Amino acid sequence: MKMNKQKLKKFTKEISIPLILLILYYFLFHFQKIISLPSQDKFLDLVLNFINTQSIFIIFLIALIEGGLILGQYSPGGVVIFLSIISAQGDISKISLLIFIITLAYFLAYSLDYLFGYYGVNTLLKRFGYEKKIEKYRRLLEKNAFNTIFFSCAETNFASIVAAAAGTLKISFKKFFLYITISVIFWNIFWAIVLYFFGNAILSLFGATYLIIILVVWI
């Protein structure tokens, strides 16, 4: 019973940020008689325009945070690449630059996550409840390091934990960095291609609901 209460408390803490945003989103757009706001579709356009007008440095920082072991777990993994590619509106040169910047940010973030695990910051790992997750991915890394790193890089939250787990195993940094380089480049290009061809179709299909889907998946 005590263990269940601890798990429930931890789960509630982890979903608090996206849940608050989801409630706020629902409240604002279902009580527009009280507060004058743009429509949900116009709001989505404002979000995309905001991202599209941000400097490359800001996009880099957002991607760096997403790839971090601690702060990254409280952000929707990969959302920066999704929204930034869609907001580029098919501009191949801008998409290429965004992919390059985001890839560099992920390289740095995962390298820091690896060093975090390598130097055994166990107190923080325990404090944020990552011990069991780290142990799970340690076992997977011992079985097949490349596959574990490669498939985890499809989603930044998983990749950051796997990077820390690789550090705790004292896997050679050269080996780790080679694997992470191949994986990050592949998945960033893969998602960019998918969004280049289908991003507008996704927005046409879901409209403003796309933002709600992100929040729900985040939870």
Of the ranges 4-18, 26-40, 108-122, the best mean pLDDT one = 108-122
Answer whether residue 209 is part of any domain: yes
Q: Are 147 and 28 in contact (CB under 8 A)?
A: no
Q: What is the pLDDT of residues 96-148, one digit of tens each?
A: 888 899 999 999 999 999 998 888 766 666 666 667 778 888 899 999 999 99
**Stretch 170-193: mean pLDDT:** 93
Residue 6 lies in a domain: no
Q: Is residue 78 part of a domain?
A: yes
> Mean pLDDT throughout 42-53?
58
Non-local (6+) Cβ contacts of 181 within 8 A are: 107
Provide the 8-state DSSP code for 69.
S
Contacts of the segment 167-176: beta carbons below 8 A, 24+ positions apart: 167/113, 167/114, 167/115, 167/116, 167/117, 167/118, 167/119, 168/117, 168/118, 168/120, 168/134, 168/138, 169/138, 169/141, 169/142, 170/118, 171/141, 171/145, 173/111, 173/114, 173/118, 175/145, 176/114, 176/149
18 occurs within a structural domain: no
Is the residue at 77 inside a domain? yes
Q: Does residue 24 form part of some domain? A: no
Angle 93-99-105 from CA coordinates, rounded to 5°: 140
Q: How many domains does the chain have?
A: 1
In a domain, 121, yes or no: yes
What's the CA gap between 191 and 172, in Å, rounded?
A: 28
What pLDDT is stored for residue 107 in this prediction? 95
Share of the chain above pLDDT 70, in %: 56
Q: Please give the average per-residue pLDDT across 196-213, as a whole number.
A: 63
d(CA 213, CA 55): 26
44 is written with which tokens? 């989505």
Task: Give dist(CA 146, CA 166) in Å, integer.
Answer: 11
pLDDT at 69 over 60: yes
What span, in angstroms and rounded, lies between the C-alpha atoms of 144 and 2? 35
Q: Domain residues for 205?
A: 38-218
What predicted TM-score, i.e. pTM, was given to this entire model? 0.71
Residue 13 and residue 17: Cα distance in Å, rounded?
Answer: 8
